[in-house]
Amino acid sequence: MLNKIYQLAIPPEIKGGIYTEKQAVDEIKLHLHTVENVLLLLKNPTSAPLLFQAVNQLPKELNIGPMSSRKGSKKATLYAYLTDEEIAALNKLTEMDIRVYFNQVIDQKTEEWIDIKDNIK
């Protein structure tokens, strides 16, 4: 069901795909050396450490966009709520020297994970 919803969200003139983590690794590696611009969107940040470990050539940064409040989530920024599992994934990325930041809307000031992580309750 979610696959169909995501497919409908991709404008027809833009090539897009929805992949499992394993498929995503293969697809990312396929596009690393092309001249195409590629935007990688993740359903949530828990997959990010695996992708960064598997594809060493990825840019060393991750922008966290809006994430709705869910059962068990904690407010990280005005527009982002994180579960304990997502927080652990972001901490893992920081340990891997990946810059993690929040910039949900273009006019909003960027917030760095390293600066806000200890304030999440």
pLDDT at 99: 98
Ordered by start, the domain boundaries in the chain are 2-119
pLDDT bracket for residue 24 (50, 70, 90): very high
Over the chain, what is the mean pLDDT? Answer: 90
Q: What is the pLDDT of residues 45-101, one digit of tens each?
A: 999 999 999 999 999 999 998 899 999 999 999 889 999 999 999 999 999 999 999
pLDDT at 87: 97
Question: Given its phi and psi angles, is residue 59 left (phi above 0), alpha (psi -120 to 50 degrees) or beta?
Answer: beta
Question: pTM of this prediction?
Answer: 0.86
Exposed e or buried b for every residue in 22-56, given b needs 16+ CB within 10 A? eebbeebeeeeeeeeeeeeeeeebbebbebbeebe
pLDDT at 84: 97
Q: Which CATH superfamily is domain 2-119 in?
A: Phosphotransferase system, sorbose subfamily IIB component (3.40.35.10)
Count of helix runs (H) and strand runs (E) in the chain: 5, 5
Q: What is the pLDDT of residues 106-117, one digit of tens each?
A: 788 999 999 999
Tokens of 77: 């920024």
